[in-house]
Amino acid sequence: MSIQSVINREIFAPSDQKLLVAIEAKRRNKRKLPFLAAGREGKYKTFICLSATNKPPVQLFITKVKQFEGSPRLIKRSQWNVDQLRQVNGVNPNRDCPEFDLVFDRSLDQWMAASDAEKCMFIQVLYHACQNYWMAKDVQANPGEAGRDPQKPAGPESRKGPAVPRTNFINCQSKLMEDACTMNMVIYRCKIFLNRMKSTMLPPPRPRPAGQAKSGAKSAGVKSRTSSPARPPRGSMKKAVRRASQALGERGDRLWRAEDKTAHMMDSARLFSNTAHKVRTRTV
Protein backbone atom coordinates (compact mmCIF):
# COMPACT_ATOMS: atom_id res chain seq x y z
CA MET A 1 0.00 0.00 0.00
CA SER A 2 1.36 3.42 -0.98
CA ILE A 3 2.01 6.16 1.56
CA GLN A 4 -0.77 8.29 0.04
CA SER A 5 -3.31 5.52 0.64
CA VAL A 6 -2.13 5.16 4.24
CA ILE A 7 -2.33 8.92 4.87
CA ASN A 8 -5.79 9.11 3.32
CA ARG A 9 -7.06 6.19 5.39
CA GLU A 10 -5.60 7.25 8.74
CA ILE A 11 -5.76 11.07 8.60
CA PHE A 12 -8.41 12.29 6.15
CA ALA A 13 -11.02 9.52 5.82
CA PRO A 14 -12.10 9.83 9.49
CA SER A 15 -12.67 13.60 8.90
CA ASP A 16 -14.81 12.93 5.79
CA GLN A 17 -12.12 14.33 3.49
CA LYS A 18 -10.29 12.96 0.48
CA LEU A 19 -6.59 13.32 -0.19
CA LEU A 20 -5.73 15.00 -3.49
CA VAL A 21 -1.94 14.88 -3.29
CA ALA A 22 0.74 14.26 -0.66
CA ILE A 23 4.49 14.78 -1.00
CA GLU A 24 7.45 14.26 1.31
CA ALA A 25 9.32 17.48 2.10
CA LYS A 26 11.63 19.07 4.63
CA ARG A 27 12.26 22.66 5.65
CA ARG A 28 15.06 24.50 3.91
CA ASN A 29 15.62 26.69 6.97
CA LYS A 30 14.93 24.86 10.19
CA ARG A 31 13.26 26.84 12.92
CA LYS A 32 15.33 27.22 16.06
CA LEU A 33 13.42 26.69 19.31
CA PRO A 34 15.99 27.08 22.11
CA PHE A 35 13.47 26.42 24.88
CA LEU A 36 12.93 22.86 23.63
CA ALA A 37 15.40 20.06 24.15
CA ALA A 38 17.32 19.42 20.96
CA GLY A 39 16.42 16.15 19.30
CA ARG A 40 13.75 15.29 21.85
CA GLU A 41 11.32 13.93 19.29
CA GLY A 42 13.91 12.16 17.14
CA LYS A 43 13.98 11.88 13.38
CA TYR A 44 10.79 12.08 11.38
CA LYS A 45 9.38 12.47 7.88
CA THR A 46 7.14 15.39 6.93
CA PHE A 47 4.38 15.13 4.34
CA ILE A 48 2.63 18.17 2.84
CA CYS A 49 -0.92 17.16 1.92
CA LEU A 50 -3.74 18.80 -0.03
CA SER A 51 -7.22 17.53 0.83
CA ALA A 52 -10.82 18.45 0.06
CA THR A 53 -14.07 17.85 1.92
CA ASN A 54 -16.50 15.31 0.49
CA LYS A 55 -19.64 17.32 1.26
CA PRO A 56 -20.49 20.73 -0.22
CA PRO A 57 -19.54 23.46 0.17
CA VAL A 58 -16.14 22.05 -0.76
CA GLN A 59 -13.22 23.25 1.35
CA LEU A 60 -9.53 22.85 0.54
CA PHE A 61 -6.95 22.27 3.26
CA ILE A 62 -3.16 22.08 3.34
CA THR A 63 -2.07 19.77 6.14
CA LYS A 64 1.32 18.90 7.58
CA VAL A 65 1.62 15.23 8.60
CA LYS A 66 4.58 13.69 10.41
CA GLN A 67 5.80 10.13 10.76
CA PHE A 68 8.50 9.48 13.36
CA GLU A 69 11.28 7.01 12.75
CA GLY A 70 10.53 3.51 13.93
CA SER A 71 6.78 4.14 14.24
CA PRO A 72 4.15 3.40 11.56
CA ARG A 73 1.77 5.92 13.11
CA LEU A 74 1.01 9.18 11.29
CA ILE A 75 0.38 12.40 13.24
CA LYS A 76 -1.43 15.46 11.91
CA ARG A 77 0.27 18.65 13.04
CA SER A 78 -0.68 21.92 11.28
CA GLN A 79 -3.57 22.61 8.94
CA TRP A 80 -4.49 25.68 6.89
CA ASN A 81 -7.48 26.53 4.75
CA VAL A 82 -6.69 27.57 1.17
CA ASP A 83 -8.31 30.92 1.98
CA GLN A 84 -5.30 31.55 4.24
CA LEU A 85 -2.82 30.70 1.47
CA ARG A 86 -1.69 33.98 -0.04
CA GLN A 87 1.20 32.93 -2.27
CA VAL A 88 2.85 29.87 -3.79
CA ASN A 89 6.42 30.53 -4.90
CA GLY A 90 7.96 28.00 -7.27
CA VAL A 91 11.41 29.60 -6.74
CA ASN A 92 12.63 28.89 -10.30
CA PRO A 93 10.32 29.33 -13.33
CA ASN A 94 12.91 28.04 -15.84
CA ARG A 95 13.65 24.52 -14.65
CA ASP A 96 12.47 21.79 -12.33
CA CYS A 97 13.71 22.18 -8.77
CA PRO A 98 12.56 20.76 -5.41
CA GLU A 99 12.31 24.14 -3.61
CA PHE A 100 9.02 25.96 -3.09
CA ASP A 101 7.52 28.42 -0.60
CA LEU A 102 4.04 28.63 0.90
CA VAL A 103 3.02 32.05 2.25
CA PHE A 104 0.04 32.10 4.62
CA ASP A 105 -1.58 34.97 6.49
CA ARG A 106 0.80 34.79 9.42
CA SER A 107 3.59 32.43 8.40
CA LEU A 108 6.08 31.63 5.67
CA ASP A 109 7.16 28.04 5.09
CA GLN A 110 10.17 27.31 2.88
CA TRP A 111 10.16 23.68 1.77
CA MET A 112 12.30 21.32 -0.23
CA ALA A 113 10.48 18.35 -1.72
CA ALA A 114 12.03 14.89 -1.80
CA SER A 115 12.37 15.25 -5.59
CA ASP A 116 11.64 17.65 -8.43
CA ALA A 117 8.75 15.50 -9.63
CA GLU A 118 6.99 15.58 -6.24
CA LYS A 119 7.16 19.37 -6.09
CA CYS A 120 5.88 19.73 -9.69
CA MET A 121 3.00 17.35 -9.07
CA PHE A 122 2.02 19.17 -5.86
CA ILE A 123 1.98 22.60 -7.52
CA GLN A 124 0.04 21.32 -10.54
CA VAL A 125 -2.66 19.71 -8.39
CA LEU A 126 -2.77 22.70 -6.03
CA TYR A 127 -3.13 25.21 -8.87
CA HIS A 128 -6.04 23.45 -10.57
CA ALA A 129 -7.76 22.71 -7.27
CA CYS A 130 -7.51 26.41 -6.36
CA GLN A 131 -8.94 27.39 -9.76
CA ASN A 132 -12.01 25.22 -9.22
CA TYR A 133 -12.33 26.43 -5.64
CA TRP A 134 -12.16 30.10 -6.62
CA MET A 135 -14.68 29.60 -9.39
CA ALA A 136 -17.12 28.04 -6.93
CA LYS A 137 -16.55 30.88 -4.48
CA ASP A 138 -17.18 33.44 -7.22
CA VAL A 139 -20.42 31.74 -8.15
CA GLN A 140 -21.55 31.79 -4.52
CA ALA A 141 -20.62 35.47 -4.08
CA ASN A 142 -21.88 36.61 -7.52
CA PRO A 143 -24.46 34.23 -9.01
CA GLY A 144 -24.77 36.37 -12.16
CA GLU A 145 -21.09 35.84 -13.11
CA ALA A 146 -21.04 32.04 -13.27
CA GLY A 147 -19.56 32.02 -16.78
CA ARG A 148 -16.78 34.54 -16.18
CA ASP A 149 -13.15 33.49 -16.58
CA PRO A 150 -11.64 33.17 -13.06
CA GLN A 151 -8.28 34.50 -14.35
CA LYS A 152 -9.85 37.87 -15.28
CA PRO A 153 -10.92 39.85 -12.23
CA ALA A 154 -14.21 41.65 -12.57
CA GLY A 155 -14.50 45.40 -12.17
CA PRO A 156 -15.96 47.00 -9.06
CA GLU A 157 -19.15 47.94 -10.90
CA SER A 158 -19.88 44.35 -11.92
CA ARG A 159 -19.02 42.67 -8.63
CA LYS A 160 -21.94 42.42 -6.25
CA GLY A 161 -20.59 40.22 -3.49
CA PRO A 162 -17.48 40.53 -1.34
CA ALA A 163 -14.02 40.12 -2.86
CA VAL A 164 -12.85 36.51 -2.97
CA PRO A 165 -9.28 36.05 -1.70
CA ARG A 166 -6.97 34.55 -4.29
CA THR A 167 -3.68 32.70 -4.04
CA ASN A 168 -0.93 34.19 -6.15
CA PHE A 169 1.29 31.66 -7.98
CA ILE A 170 4.69 33.16 -8.80
CA ASN A 171 7.90 31.71 -10.28
CA CYS A 172 6.00 28.59 -11.36
CA GLN A 173 6.52 26.93 -14.72
CA SER A 174 3.71 27.31 -17.24
CA LYS A 175 3.57 23.54 -17.75
CA LEU A 176 2.31 23.28 -14.17
CA MET A 177 -0.42 25.90 -14.61
CA GLU A 178 -2.20 26.99 -17.78
CA ASP A 179 -0.26 24.61 -20.05
CA ALA A 180 -0.62 21.62 -17.71
CA CYS A 181 -1.91 18.34 -19.10
CA THR A 182 -2.66 14.87 -17.84
CA MET A 183 0.51 13.48 -19.43
CA ASN A 184 2.63 15.65 -17.13
CA MET A 185 0.92 14.11 -14.12
CA VAL A 186 1.60 10.59 -15.38
CA ILE A 187 5.27 11.43 -15.96
CA TYR A 188 5.64 12.94 -12.49
CA ARG A 189 4.04 9.92 -10.83
CA CYS A 190 6.39 7.59 -12.70
CA LYS A 191 9.40 9.65 -11.64
CA ILE A 192 8.24 9.66 -8.02
CA PHE A 193 7.78 5.89 -8.07
CA LEU A 194 11.26 5.35 -9.54
CA ASN A 195 12.88 7.72 -7.02
CA ARG A 196 11.23 5.94 -4.10
CA MET A 197 12.28 2.55 -5.43
CA LYS A 198 15.84 3.83 -5.79
CA SER A 199 15.87 5.19 -2.23
CA THR A 200 14.63 1.88 -0.82
CA MET A 201 17.23 -0.14 -2.73
CA LEU A 202 20.23 2.02 -1.77
CA PRO A 203 21.80 1.32 1.66
CA PRO A 204 21.46 4.08 4.28
CA PRO A 205 24.49 6.36 4.73
CA ARG A 206 26.92 5.34 7.44
CA PRO A 207 27.04 7.66 10.44
CA ARG A 208 30.22 9.66 10.86
CA PRO A 209 32.36 8.63 13.87
CA ALA A 210 32.32 11.03 16.79
CA GLY A 211 36.05 11.64 16.52
CA GLN A 212 35.75 13.14 13.03
CA ALA A 213 34.26 16.46 14.14
CA LYS A 214 34.95 19.52 12.06
CA SER A 215 37.60 21.84 13.40
CA GLY A 216 39.11 25.15 12.48
CA ALA A 217 42.14 23.43 10.97
CA LYS A 218 39.92 21.67 8.43
CA SER A 219 38.24 24.89 7.40
CA ALA A 220 41.68 26.46 6.87
CA GLY A 221 42.60 23.75 4.37
CA VAL A 222 44.70 21.54 6.70
CA LYS A 223 44.14 17.85 6.12
CA SER A 224 42.79 15.98 9.07
CA ARG A 225 45.02 13.33 10.58
CA THR A 226 42.06 11.36 11.86
CA SER A 227 42.41 7.97 10.27
CA SER A 228 39.59 5.80 9.05
CA PRO A 229 38.24 3.12 11.40
CA ALA A 230 41.26 0.98 12.40
CA ARG A 231 41.50 -2.35 10.70
CA PRO A 232 42.62 -5.36 12.71
CA PRO A 233 46.31 -6.22 12.15
CA ARG A 234 47.25 -9.12 9.93
CA GLY A 235 48.55 -11.16 12.84
CA SER A 236 45.19 -11.11 14.59
CA MET A 237 43.48 -12.06 11.31
CA LYS A 238 45.77 -15.09 10.97
CA LYS A 239 45.05 -16.13 14.55
CA ALA A 240 41.30 -15.84 13.94
CA VAL A 241 41.55 -17.98 10.79
CA ARG A 242 43.66 -20.54 12.62
CA ARG A 243 41.18 -20.72 15.48
CA ALA A 244 38.28 -21.11 13.09
CA SER A 245 40.02 -23.92 11.18
CA GLN A 246 40.92 -25.65 14.45
CA ALA A 247 37.32 -25.43 15.65
CA LEU A 248 36.10 -26.88 12.35
CA GLY A 249 38.62 -29.73 12.63
CA GLU A 250 37.51 -30.56 16.18
CA ARG A 251 33.89 -30.49 15.09
CA GLY A 252 34.70 -32.86 12.23
CA ASP A 253 36.40 -35.29 14.62
CA ARG A 254 33.36 -35.28 16.90
CA LEU A 255 31.10 -35.95 13.94
CA TRP A 256 33.28 -38.89 12.84
CA ARG A 257 33.21 -40.39 16.36
CA ALA A 258 29.44 -39.95 16.56
CA GLU A 259 29.07 -41.65 13.18
CA ASP A 260 31.23 -44.61 14.35
CA LYS A 261 29.16 -44.98 17.52
CA THR A 262 25.96 -44.90 15.47
CA ALA A 263 27.24 -47.63 13.13
CA HIS A 264 28.32 -49.77 16.12
CA MET A 265 24.88 -49.37 17.73
CA MET A 266 23.20 -50.35 14.46
CA ASP A 267 25.31 -53.52 14.27
CA SER A 268 24.51 -54.38 17.89
CA ALA A 269 20.80 -53.87 17.28
CA ARG A 270 20.90 -56.04 14.15
CA LEU A 271 22.74 -58.83 16.06
CA PHE A 272 20.24 -58.64 18.92
CA SER A 273 17.36 -58.85 16.45
CA ASN A 274 18.81 -61.97 14.76
CA THR A 275 19.43 -63.66 18.11
CA ALA A 276 15.90 -62.94 19.30
CA HIS A 277 14.50 -64.36 16.06
CA LYS A 278 16.53 -67.63 16.46
CA VAL A 279 15.41 -68.05 20.07
CA ARG A 280 11.78 -67.58 19.03
CA THR A 281 12.00 -70.18 16.23
CA ARG A 282 13.60 -72.74 18.59
CA THR A 283 10.92 -72.29 21.22
CA VAL A 284 8.19 -72.74 18.64
pTM greater than the 0.75 cutoff: no
Query: E strands of 74-233, at which residues?
Result: 75-81, 85-89, 99-104, 108-113, 168-170
Tens of pLDDT, residue by residue over 245-274, are 777 777 777 777 777 787 788 888 888 888
CATH number at residue 188: 2.30.29.30
Q: Is residue 35 part of a domain?
A: no
Tens of pLDDT, residue by residue over 10-25, are 999 999 999 999 999 9
Q: Which domain covers residue 190, as residue numbers?
A: 3-29+42-146+163-201
Shared domain for 21 and 108, answered yes or no, is yes
Q: Specify the amino acid at residue 146.
A: A
Rounded-to-10 torsion of CA 86, 92, 94, 96: -100
Q: Is residue 214 part of a domain?
A: no
Q: Is residue 89 part of a domain?
A: yes
What is the overall mean pLDDT for the chain? Answer: 78
Q: How many separate domains does the chain show? A: 2
Shared domain for 15 and 129, answered yes or no, is yes
Shared domain for 7 and 60, answered yes or no, is yes
Rounded to whole angstroms, how far apart are CA atoms 127 and 117? 15
Q: Is residue 228 part of a domain?
A: no
Shared domain for 21 and 93, answered yes or no, is yes
Q: Is residue 156 part of a domain?
A: no
Shared domain for 142 and 12, answered yes or no, is yes
Shared domain for 130 and 253, answered yes or no, is no
Query: E strands of 185-268, at which residues?
Result: none
Shared domain for 275 and 173, answered yes or no, is no
Q: What's the mean pLDDT in 39-61?
A: 86
Shared domain for 183 and 66, answered yes or no, is yes
Burial state string for 223-244 with b = 16 or more CB within 10 A and e = fewer than 16: eeeeeeeeeeeeeeeeeeeeee
Burial of residue 133 (number of CB atoms within 10 Å: 0-12, 13-18, 19+)? buried
Who has greater pLDDT, 47 or 196? 47
Tens of pLDDT, residue by residue over 181-236, are 777 767 777 777 777 666 666 665 566 655 554 444 444 444 444 555 555 566 67
Q: Is residue 37 part of a domain?
A: no
Rounded to whole angstroms, how far apart are CA atoms 7 and 11? 6
Torsion region of 91: left, alpha or beta (phi above 0 gives left; psi -120 to 50 gives alpha): left
Tens of pLDDT, residue by residue over 178-190, are 777 777 767 777 7
